[in-house]
Chains A and B, each alone.
Chain A
Amino acid sequence: DQQVKQNSPSLSVQEGRISILNCDYTNSMFDYFLWYKKYPAEGPTFLISISSIKDKNEDGRFTVFLNKSAKHLSLHIVPSQPGDSAVYFCAASAYNNNDMRFGAGTRLTVKP
């Protein structure tokens, strides 16, 4: 079952604009959420995380927002750069449960 869903397989934005990647989850036990970025022929790279006690976490150009009531999180990239072009995976896990679930990924293309 798909407990973590990324419904947009791809997203294209212009350089300098905002990229918004969305992720929905179904398991209310999830309390830790992460975003990973993946370039072709490389393993996923940790980008940013958020625990359920927060609703926002910011790291430079990257901000993750968590809406627990909607079981929704999003990753904002501002401003977007061509080097941000990659596949972004959303992941979630529950306290004391190592079965981290990943979404199918969203391919972001940032056009110069």
Chain B
Amino acid sequence: DSGVTQTPKHLITATGQRVTLRCSPRSGDLSVYWYQQSLDQGLQFLIQYYNGEERAKGNILERFSAQQFPDLHSELNLSSLELGDSALYFCASSVGPAGTSGVDQETQYFGPGTRLLVL
């Protein structure tokens, strides 16, 4: 158990719909990262928040958005869903962002993922 929790575990929805995925980081971690893993794909970095502020953006579609709340949990919102959005969505957390003291700050711990199926 990494200490990172994600809900829901599974989500089935239809094209055009909107869903929200939730992540709670490990206790003490200030950074939250979102990743997408499609079939036969590696993990694609979507976005990162550090202490409530957006820190880095990766291959995140405009239809997707995220935020980190004062209690440090994060939500990933996916809208106007398409079939191709079906994937595993992972959240990870770390103590701090890269560049802070010690590389241990950067090690990311992953949640169990949310499996999204768009029909």
Contacts and interface: CB of A to CB of B under 8 A. Distances in A.
Contact of A98 (B35, B40, B98, B111): B98
Contacts, number: 75
In this complex, the interface size class of chain A, counting residues with CB under 8 Å from chain B, is 20 to 34
A111 to B, nearest CB: 23
B41 interface: yes
Given A43-B110, A104-B40, A49 B45 contact: no
Interface residues of B, number: 32
B58 A99 contact: yes
A4 B40 CA distance: 15
A96 interface: yes
Interface in A30-70: 32, 34, 36, 41-46, 49, 51
B107 A49 contact: yes
Contacts of A32: 98, 103, 106
Contact of A43 (B4, B42, B55): B4
A100 interface: yes
Given A99-B48, A105-B42, 9 more contacts: A4-B42, A32-B98, A32-B103, A43-B90, A43-B110, A45-B110, A96-B97, A98-B33, A99-B45
